[in-house]
Structure 1
Amino acid sequence: MAEALRNLGVTHSFGIIGKSICPVVLKMVDYGIEFIPGRHESSSGFEAAGYALKTGKLGVAFGTSGPGVPIFSPPQHMPRRIIFPYFL
């Protein structure tokens, strides 16, 4: 996944580090993708959406498995209202 994101030109990602995604985050850092940790999945989703909206680049957000997944629901609706690249 990290290599694919790098090939897509991703330079920044946002999210919460958890056991399930820690290997991916470490590999992204190895590939030169800056990981910006958040305090909450929802805020990380909005940060990725704002990044995509401001830069026109792909906004990437990561969350932990389990209860972190439904918390991404509010940021998922933002790209539908304003068209910009966003990957969750």
Structure 2
Amino acid sequence: MFTISIYFKIKHSELFTASKAETNSELRCNGDGYVIINLDCNSDFSNIDTRKWIAKQRKAMANVCKVPEENVILISRDEYEEEAES
């Protein structure tokens, strides 16, 4: 078994916007967020078109976050770790 991970930056989503009062924090979210999607695979993944799969995940994430697809940006693991975990 192996895991495939894809990372997205979501721009201007209300899901990632919080006021100071809501978070009890000095930080204020700007409406951008970072998401990781993991797929655990038990079998051969070579027959799957990864570009189509990623496009499908991007579209689904846009629907969940109520943003246009162009606001869902595929990013590298390094960028995800740098931005989302800081």
Query: Is TM (by shorter chain) over 0.5?
Result: no
Which has the larger strand fraction?
A: 2
The higher-RCO structure (CA 8 Å, 6+ apart) is: 2
Larger radius of gyration between Structure 1 and Structure 2: 2
* TM bin (shorter chain): under 0.3
Q: TM-score under structure 1 normalisation?
A: 0.28
Which has the larger helix fraction?
A: 1
Q: TM-score under structure 2 normalisation?
A: 0.28
